[in-house]
């Protein structure tokens, strides 16, 4: 976990600027100098020597050449070197160790475990907008259907972008819908890719958990070349493999750990990125980017006893010792960007088109369909169950110019633009073996009544004006209008200001409103997940089963954001930022209207689903279904603090100290009712959105450097989460006891220690030995009576400490 300097506001000195030598410079397209650092880190330096150590930002502002030091909103910058120093094989996990405002799920179930998600400021992953080189990135097609904070999300899967391609990441911790459109409620993550036109970098990360499972291997390669005298091309690629981890408690039916439900899925991912640019003239620059990734993943489902096959001799012969179905995903994700930009009559202009697509083929291994065996004699075990496709085509034209008016001593930066976006979402039917009878075991295939092709158009425009009211008083005003063909019009605005009272003290504040349009997946997704003694359905809000129970069309979520902060240097080189924030989110979209027993059976039947034989003997709470609805309004309040301080020890070396803290609390302010007057949310669902994220996350420590050696030690403290756990009944916890009564469960605060030791053998080679979560801390254990079949000893529907425990790794870097 954290072995790098936590990402802090980049107006401070670059924490990665240690004893590692630089490897030449060139002039970047923005006019800044780009120092090509080892390990693929490109540290952007403004051209003026007096500003050395500061970064030029492109996120949260439409001004050209804006320095992070002068930002009117809180923004973090994470370099490629910092990402590598974490020892994590994926971008999402690396960011989770560097940013206290960013949290990751404790774990995941079913196909939801096969897509990466993260959250900013304790809000749903859908509330964070992800950009690549400033352009909106397409989202995954794989919806997280299981209960928990991520339920109903189809986030951008940032792990499908090669880590080797990343120059740095800018994280705007503020609402920015007026600047970027839908989804920028909690903030914006802008992934900036490399543009070096020379050099070669290679990195290997090999690791294993303290439990001696979960072996990981990552290989990362990138290099650049010139395109004649006026252009460049940079090619990057990753290969990452992660083995299963196994964290299940003994299955109460067998007394053994044969049930492998709880643990990290196995996955193998290959990804590549090609980025190019060419100066057509002195004033016109053409650029292009293509990324492609393929992932194969497998997640275990609950173990089926041999006795469950007593009436199915065909499958009993195949699985004499019972079986554990595996849900699989084969995912192909790609995106292509092309554009031209330049300067004309003093205006900076940018015309671009981006097309992205994610296709997920969801299947099963080691499964069964008993109706097929009974009626045909065939015994399918590998089954194609579901197929999802999400595509996005974005086109934009942006203009900006700095004006100087007589009578006004400060420049006025005016920006504006127009966008057109086409979005489509497709749900494919499963194979006949997945839908025949009650469908394939563990995950029923998608039937024809729930499949289809869906799309919408989005058009919009924005204007942004930034200036100084006084020499030390900045002012930024933005407004945006968008029209969605399925949910109507949205208008958003943002007002930001900053006042620099002294060189060592500044104040900033922002007020804005934002929105998140319901995704096409939230409007049209359906599935049925089967366990040995339970079934859970998620049906489309406009489907017959949902409409018969009072469902209504989805509306956009809307937010009001307020942020205020102070930036201070109380003593020389001690840089401190403190920001407080409040986010009021209305009409939040989550599964609501949960129905159980016969009502759920009737709704599923109306949607074409058939339940397994014997399901009429289950407890009512063991059979449930729901649909997405605008269920609640919430208020999120919090505080972000960052501090850095270098200690120079003369010939002994240097220590870079750092602290980064996020305090966060979400409360329910309103809950919607169903058509029958009943609340749409249970106590368990309320906990998902109010207390499943940690109340605090703190990262603190330091990095000591002397000569060729660097030692980093950091502590991460995760605050408490509180959940409402299901009670189970029966000798083996086979039945849900109630859908209204739950056990309040506290997952107490946890500390983890991270240690890394780096040796730079020469200017080309460096080696790191590291431990993330050195002492193998784990989440709090769930009480025995609240584990289905006794298996899930850690509650995975939270976003606190990862359930996998300690992770130890060796990293090697080569730079040429």
784: confidence class by pLDDT, cuts 50, 70, 90: very high
**How high is the pLDDT of residue 52?**
26
Name the residue with tokens 């030598």: 21
Q: Are 182 and 778 in contact (CB under 8 A)?
A: no
Least confident interval from 250-259, 285-294, 794-803: 794-803
**How high is the pLDDT of residue 12?**
32
**How high is the pLDDT of residue 9?**
47
Separation of alpha carbons 524 and 540, rounded Å: 5
Q: In 3D, which of 666, 624, 606, 536 has the Cα closest to residue 120? A: 666
Write the CB contacts of 537 (distance below 8 Å, at least 6 apart in sequence). 526, 527, 528, 529, 600, 603, 604, 607, 609, 624, 625, 626
Separation of alpha carbons 364 and 445, rounded Å: 10
DSSP per-residue letters across 733-752: T-EE--SS-EEEEEE--EEE
Tens-digit pLDDT profile for residues 541-560: 888 888 888 888 899 999 99
Number of H helices, E strands in the chain: 10, 38
**How high is the pLDDT of residue 106?**
87
Report, in angstroms and rounded to the nearest whole number, the Rg of the chain calculated over CA atoms.
26
**How high is the pLDDT of residue 678?**
79
Q: Are 90 and 295 in contact (CB under 8 A)?
A: no
Report which listed range, 107-116, 489-498, 588-597, is most confident.
489-498
Q: Is 738 exposed, middle or buried (0-12, 13-18, 19+ CB in 10 A)?
A: middle
- Kindly state the percentage of the chain with pLDDT values over 90: 73
**How high is the pLDDT of residue 54?**
65
**How high is the pLDDT of residue 1?**
32
Distances from the Cα of 310 to the Cαs of 304, 313, 365, 731, in angstroms? 12, 7, 21, 21
Tens-digit pLDDT profile for residues 209-221: 999 999 999 999 9
Pairing of strands 505-516, 654-671: unpaired
Least confident interval from 107-116, 287-296, 362-371, 382-391: 107-116
- Kindly state the percentage of the chain with pLDDT values over 70: 93
Write down the mean pLDDT value for the chain.
89
Tens-digit pLDDT profile for residues 598-642: 888 888 888 888 888 788 888 888 888 888 899 999 999 999 999
DSSP per-residue letters across 412-453: EEEEEEEEEEEEEEEEEPPPHHHHSTT-SSSBPPPPGGG-EE
Q: Are 201 and 125 in contact (CB under 8 A)?
A: no
Separation of alpha carbons 339 and 352, rounded Å: 4
Tens-digit pLDDT profile for residues 221-239: 999 999 999 999 999 999 9
Least confident interval from 25-39, 652-666, 775-789: 25-39
Give the 3-state secondary structure percentages of the chain, helix then strand then coil, rounded to 5: 15, 50, 35
DSSP per-residue letters across 21-57: PP--EEE-TTS-EEEE-GGG-EEEE-SSGGGTT--B-
**How high is the pLDDT of residue 11?**
35
Tens-digit pLDDT profile for residues 469-498: 999 999 999 999 999 999 999 999 999 999
* Local structure of residue 404 (DSSP, 8 states): -
Tens-digit pLDDT profile for residues 412-427: 999 999 999 999 999 9
Least confident interval from 40-54, 161-175, 226-240, 453-467: 40-54
Separation of alpha carbons 182 and 11, rounded Å: 28
Separation of alpha carbons 230 and 283, rounded Å: 12
* Total residues found in the chain within this entry: 816
**How high is the pLDDT of residue 501?**
95
Tens-digit pLDDT profile for residues 3-60: 333 444 433 333 333 333 333 333 333 333 333 333 333 333 322 223 323 677 788 7
């Amino acid at each position: 976990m954290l072995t790098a300097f936590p990402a802090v506001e980049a107006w401070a000195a670059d924490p990665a600027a240690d004893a590692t030598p630089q490897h030449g410079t060139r002039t970047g397209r923005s006019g800044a100098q780009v120092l090509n650092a080892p390990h693929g880190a490109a540290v952007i330096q403004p051209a003026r020597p007096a500003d050395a150590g500061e970064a030029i930002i492109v996120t949260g502002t439409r001004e050209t050449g804006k320095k992070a030091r002068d930002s009117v909103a809180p923004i973090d910058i994470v370099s490629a070197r910092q990402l590598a120093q974490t020892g994590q094989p994926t971008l999402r996990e690396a960011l989770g160790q560097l940013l206290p405002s960013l949290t990751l799920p404790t774990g995941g179930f079913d196909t939801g475990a096969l897509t990466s998600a993260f959250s900013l400021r304790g809000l749903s992953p859908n509330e964070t907008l992800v950009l690549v080189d400033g352009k909106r990135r397409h989202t995954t097609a794989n919806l997280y259907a299981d209960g928990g904070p991520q339920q109903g999300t189809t986030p951008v899967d940032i792990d499908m972008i090669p880590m080797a391609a990343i120059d740095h990441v800018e994280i705007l911790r503020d609402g920015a819908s007026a600047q970027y459109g839908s989804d920028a409620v909690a903030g914006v993550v802008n992934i900036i890719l490399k543009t070096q036109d020379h050099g070669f970098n290679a990195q290997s990360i090999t690791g294993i958990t303290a439990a001696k499972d979960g072996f990981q291997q990552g290989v990362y390669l990138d290099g650049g070349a010139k395109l004649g005298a006026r252009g460049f091309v940079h090619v990057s690629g990753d290969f990452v493999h992660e083995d299963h981890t196994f964290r299940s408690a003994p299955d109460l039916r067998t007394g053994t750990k044969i049930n492998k439900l709880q643990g990290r899925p196995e996955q193998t991912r290959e990804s590549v990125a090609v980025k190019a640019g060419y100066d057509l003239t002195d004033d016109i620059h053409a650029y292009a980017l293509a990324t492609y990734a393929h992932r194969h993943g497998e997640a275990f489902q609950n173990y089926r006893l041999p006795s469950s096959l007593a009436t199915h001799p065909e499958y009993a012969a195949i699985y004499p010792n019972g079986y554990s179905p595996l849900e699989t995903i084969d995912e192909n994700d790609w995106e292509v960007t092309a554009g031209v930009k330049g300067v004309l009559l003093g205006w900076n202009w940018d015309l671009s088109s981006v097309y992205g697509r994610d296709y997920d083929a969801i299947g099963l291994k080691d499964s069964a369909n008993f109706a097929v065996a009974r009626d045909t004699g065939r015994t399918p075990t590998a089954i194609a169950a579901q197929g999802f496709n999400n595509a996005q085509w974005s086109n934009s034209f942006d203009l900006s110019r700095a004006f100087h008016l007589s009578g006004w001593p400060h420049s006025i930066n005016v920006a504006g633009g127009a966008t057109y976006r086409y979005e489509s979402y497709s749900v494919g039917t499963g194979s006949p073996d997945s839908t025949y009878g009650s469908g394939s075991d563990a995950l029923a295939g998608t039937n024809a009544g729930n499949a289809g092709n869906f799309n919408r158009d989005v058009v919009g425009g924005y204007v942004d004006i930034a200036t100084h009211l006084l020499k030390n008083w900045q002012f930024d005003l933005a407004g945006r209008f968008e029209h969605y063909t399925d949910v109507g019009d949205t208008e958003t605005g943002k007002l930001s200001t900053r006042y620099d009272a002294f060189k060592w003290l500044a104040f900033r504040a922002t007020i804005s409103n934002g929105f998140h349009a319901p995704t096409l997946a939230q409007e049209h997704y359906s599935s049925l997940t089967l366990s040995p003694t339970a079934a859970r359905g998620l049906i489309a809000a406009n489907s017959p089963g949902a409409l018969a129970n009072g469902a209504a069309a989805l509306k956009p979520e809307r937010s009001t954001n307020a942020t205020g902060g102070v930036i201070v240097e109380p003593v020389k080189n001690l840089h401190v930022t403190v920001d407080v924030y409040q986010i009021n989110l209305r009409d939040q979209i989550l599964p609501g209207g949960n129905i159980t027993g016969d009502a759920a059976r009737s709704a599923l039947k109306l949607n074409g689903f058939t339940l397994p034989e014997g399901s009429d003997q289950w407890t009512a709470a063991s059979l449930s279904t729901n649909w997405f609805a605008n269920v609640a309004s919430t208020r999120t309040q919090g505080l972000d603090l960052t501090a850095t301080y270098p200690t120079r020890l003369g010939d002994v070396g240097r220590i870079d100290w750092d602290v980064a803290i996020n305090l966060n609390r979400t409360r329910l302010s309103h809950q919607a009712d169903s058509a029958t007057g009943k609340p749409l949310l249970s106590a368990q669902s309320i906990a998902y959105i109010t207390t499943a994220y940690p109340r605090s996350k703190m990262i603190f420590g330091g990095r000591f450097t002397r000569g060729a050696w660097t030692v980093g030690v950091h502590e991460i403290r995760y605050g408490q989460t509180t959940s409402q756990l299901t009670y189970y009944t029966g000798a083996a916890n086979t039945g849900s006891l109630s859908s209204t009564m739950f056990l309040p469960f506290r997952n107490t605060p946890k500390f983890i220690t991270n240690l890394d030791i780096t040796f730079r053998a020469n200017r080309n080679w460096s080696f790191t030995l590291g431990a993330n979560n050195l002492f193998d801390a784990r989440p709090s254990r769930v009480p025995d009576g609240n584990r289905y079949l006794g298996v899930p000893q850690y509650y995975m529907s939270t976003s606190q400490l990862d359930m996998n425990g300690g992770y130890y790794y060796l990293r090697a870097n080569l730079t040429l």
